[in-house]
Structure 1
Amino acid sequence: MESSQKKPHVTVLASPGIGHVTPLLELAKRLVVDHGFHVTFLSITTDAPPAQLQLLSNPSLPSDLHVVSLPRVDVSQQPIGISVRIFLVVQETLKSLPFVLKNLQPPIKSLVVDPLCIEALEIAADLSIPTYVFMTSSASLLAFTMYFPTINAEVNGDYSKIAEEVIVPGCKPLLLDDLVPGVLLPEVLPMCNRFPSVKGILVNTWEELEPVTLLSLRENLFFLGLPAPPDKPVTSTLESSKFLTWLDEQPIGSVVYVSFGSGGTLSREQMSELAWGLELSQKRFVWVARPPNDSSASGSFFKAGFLDRTRGRGLVTDSWAPQVAVLSHRSVAGFVTHCGWNSVLESVLHGVAMIAWPLYAEQRMNARFLVDVGVAVWPEAEEDDGKKVVGRCEVERVVRTILEEEGEG
């Protein structure tokens, strides 16, 4: 077997968050297993959820894939929001990157980063290391990223002048609010400006999923496409068995899976309405139900008797589920999802229809795309006192729609 010293050495750098770590780690594994590379995976140290720590410490990782944690930084004293905080954590962590890259052995042939870590481009250039960006979102968001500097120049940095609908070559008209919160536009502009300077771009999508946008991108830049959705779960066998054993007992196409990603949470009121809707639907479900995001919420956030009345046809966990294993199971026909791109790819890969429930970032753009291509329905929210809530009857309707059309019949 070829020694690690003779194999090309690639370093992969992921920004914080399991939505970034998961696809980049999968890419790293494929570079090792399918292409014979030696890979160092650089992890930005944060208070990561257990599922992310489990991914990075899994003993089944290939022997030529090594995980290295970058030194922790403290930005807790900065009075900023969580989204801006991620940019700051990355910025501060990258100060240690020159030392790490210079001392990794064997010498590095290339660096692969996700978009939030693209600032590493200059560091790698100083060390004569070519840098590639692995786009963890859709080709449509990549198109916006490439085009945003042009939009910025047209309005001279005054984002209030940007039309509600943004026209990006190769894409359907996009709503700016669906793409990036206005407060983050100044933060993402430097990132967007760096994209043309990278050696290449890899995007996590399929030709059949976004053909028009991919064609448009190829006409404008050197473009490499590498679809890499996880093909099997990297999970604890003990934890997986609980879910899979329960799913094995359910009829084919009878279950809806409910999960809003590693960081997605709902208000207490919305969780109550979702619980009511699931119960009223009389359908089977698996629900990853994390505590509500209301600061005043305490005690049980389910309506009285919900767990007892749905016992047998509902499986509820408050922390984690082996998502790929669940979505690939024959009993699962629907997925209530926040529309994070990893979840979208996993659902499409396994032919599971979606109920689009976007929460933040570019998820609304993803949701509109899924509805347009006919693989998702988007429940309508009602507005009361300035708050938008999807009511129980609407939840019941969309769950029945998905399962009765896609599953049980």
Structure 2
Amino acid sequence: MEPNKTHIAVITVPSFSHQASTMALCKRLLQLNPHLHITFIVPILNSLSNASKSLIDSLSSFNFHIILLPPISFPQASNIHPALQIPLTMSQSIPSIRDTLTSLNNSPNNKLVALIADYLASETIELAKTLNILSYIYFPFSASVLSLCLHSSWLDQMVSCEFRDLPEPIKIPGCIPIHGRDLPNSLQHRSSQDYHNYLRRSKALLLADGILVNSFEGLERGAITALLNEQTNKYPSIYPVGPNVNQAGWVSSNHVNDHDNDSECLRWLDKQETRSVLYVSFGSGGTLSQNQMNELALGLELSGQKFLWVVREPNDFPNANYFTGSKVDPLQFLPCGFVERVIKASGQGLLVASWAPQVEILSHKAIGGFLTHCGWFSILESVLNGLPIIAWPLFAEQRMNAAILSDGLKVAERVKVNENGIVESEEIVMVIQRVMIGDEGTRIRARMKELRDVAVDELKQDGSCSMNLARLGLEWKNI
């Protein structure tokens, strides 16, 4: 490490999307504060994925020190629910994290001045307190979800039934009313371990010296204003620092050196008309059931719309591939004759197995819309490219995000689910046509252009969120 650098540590979690968001934050911190040195601490579940390796490789040109912690493994027969795997990994990694932070803090030349921990690693805030360094939570989700978390104790006391059974929407300060059924998965079963983990993490937010939230006022003015107004008396300092997303030239793949996939996608898009293609992707780990895959395939075909679809092996659990990928060719699960009719014969679409270079795809002139699972990272990427959204939430906080997009911001059409939990092909056809060629799509596109312009300004050096990061860096330098 160079002398006279201000040293901070950043702790992420074993999730590709969280790692990507946190690394994007750190890159912006370094660009705005060249005096910083960052030690990036990476807990590992089972083994480091190709996705994470690719992200870490992208840090070579930045002033990062990477520490990979000893892997945490669970017996294959344990059948631990995906929602519990990150909390368990983090709790078992605490001894390694404590040793790492203590060693860094004991350095005679460049002691730590601050710790930034992912929200899902919030238990490490107590370690920062014992080392007498400043502590911050990085909240990679929306400001609306942050407001929900900070009011979790109040909600828990006010509501006696399951949230999904509430007859009226919940009014969270600064946010649009949210139906209980649209709250994050962790709130859907109040007796579950997942819910208790949520309450524990939300209380830990109050211990931090500050919270960095991956959003900006132009996108969530109501939620951010409410948070800033309440911070003096109730909460730690709130710093809107978004949008933090991958940018072209950093890293865009979750497979190392998968250049053939990149080239095929982009070459195919180069041949398509401007704004004519719908990009279909459910994030880094979202999966559909076999029945739902069949309905989506039929809906895409009947829509008559050009599409680029990232296909995964079907699974009845929507987050089945969140931590582990599949080596099975997912295209074999498509309906009989679909590839021959829709891909080979008519050229209506392009199918990509498991992964595609999303950053480059979303910025391509041929893309006219994004059918997405509504992960916050994908939403911000869509905003930065001014793309209208078809909201198809699967798990975590994605239903709440979909409500914010469709009911609040009016920049998305949300798919309707039938009584069996399936989005039928007829519904898929209607929503695709509304967004891609209908008047509603034109209105959404105009609104998205406004949001894109604001988001681009935030990434400039004089943007308010960039200034928040610069101000933090200066505060750390002066300690």
State TM-score, norm by structure 1: 0.91
1:234 to 244, 251, 255: 251
C-alpha displacement of 1:209: 0.9
Cα distance in 2, alignment partners of residues 281 and 48 from structure 1? 40
C-alpha displacement of 1:79: 5.6
| 2:15 alignment partner in structure 1 | 17
Work out whether residues 32 and 62 of structure 1, in 8 Å CA contact, stay in contact via their aligned partners in 2. no
2:338 to 297, 306, 309: 306
Secondary structure, aligned partner of 2:206 = helix
Deviations 1:7-39 (A, max 9, x none): 111211111211211110111112222211211
| 2:203 alignment partner in structure 1 | 193
After the TM superposition, which of the residue ranges 118-127 and 76-85 deviates more from structure 2? 76-85
Matched, 1:274 2:296: yes
| 2:416 alignment partner in structure 1 | 380
Distance 1:299 1:18, change over 3 A: closer
Secondary structure, aligned partner of 1:90 = helix
C-alpha displacement of 1:337: 0.4
Matched, 1:389 2:422: yes
Distance 1:242 1:48, change over 3 A: farther
Cα distance in 2, alignment partners of residues 144 and 120 from structure 1? 21
2:240 to 225, 240, 251: 225
| 1:290 alignment partner in structure 2 | 312
Cα distance in 2, alignment partners of residues 118 and 41 from structure 1? 16
Give runs of aligned pairs for residues 307-322 of structure 1, distance below 5 A: 307-311=339-343, 312-322=347-357
Work out whether residues 124 and 130 of structure 1, in 8 Å CA contact, stay in contact via their aligned partners in 2. yes
| 1:56 alignment partner in structure 2 | 56
Identity of aligned residues (%): 35
| 2:323 alignment partner in structure 1 | none
Work out whether residues 311 and 331 of structure 2, in 8 Å CA contact, stay in contact via their aligned partners in 1. no
Secondary structure, aligned partner of 1:358 = coil
Please state which structure has a larger fraction of its residues in helix.
Answer: 2
Cα distance in 2, alignment partners of residues 154 and 393 from structure 1? 40
Q: What is the RMSD of the two structures over their aligned residues, measured on CA atoms?
A: 2.3
| 2:449 alignment partner in structure 1 | none
Cα distance in 1, alignment partners of residues 182 and 245 from structure 2? 23
Work out whether residues 307 and 350 of structure 2, in 8 Å CA contact, stay in contact via their aligned partners in 1. yes
Work out whether residues 44 and 89 of structure 2, in 8 Å CA contact, stay in contact via their aligned partners in 1. no
Give runs of aligned pairs for residues 65-80 of structure 1, distance below 5 A: 65-76=64-75, 80=80
| 1:259 alignment partner in structure 2 | 281
State TM-score, norm by structure 2: 0.79
Matched, 1:141 2:145: yes
Secondary structure, aligned partner of 2:275 = coil
Work out whether residues 75 and 88 of structure 1, in 8 Å CA contact, stay in contact via their aligned partners in 2. no
Distance 1:210 1:294, change over 3 A: closer
Work out whether residues 204 and 229 of structure 1, in 8 Å CA contact, stay in contact via their aligned partners in 2. no
C-alpha displacement of 1:342: 0.3
Distance 1:301 1:38, change over 3 A: same
The unaligned stretches of length 5 or more in structure 2 are 232-236, 318-327, 446-479
Secondary structure, aligned partner of 1:360 = coil
Work out whether residues 331 and 353 of structure 2, in 8 Å CA contact, stay in contact via their aligned partners in 1. no
Secondary structure, aligned partner of 1:197 = coil
C-alpha displacement of 1:72: 1.2
Work out whether residues 288 and 314 of structure 2, in 8 Å CA contact, stay in contact via their aligned partners in 1. yes
Give runs of aligned pairs for residues 391-406 of structure 1, distance below 5 A: 391-405=424-438, 406=441
| 1:125 alignment partner in structure 2 | 129
Count of matched residue pairs: 399
Work out whether residues 178 and 403 of structure 2, in 8 Å CA contact, stay in contact via their aligned partners in 1. no
| 2:101 alignment partner in structure 1 | 101
Deviations 1:121-156 (A, max 9, x none): 11111111211111111000000000001222345x
C-alpha displacement of 1:218: 0.4
| 1:328 alignment partner in structure 2 | 363
Distance 1:159 1:6, change over 3 A: farther
Work out whether residues 10 and 38 of structure 1, in 8 Å CA contact, stay in contact via their aligned partners in 2. yes
Cα distance in 2, alignment partners of residues 302 and 136 from structure 1? 34
The unaligned stretches of length 5 or more in structure 1 are none
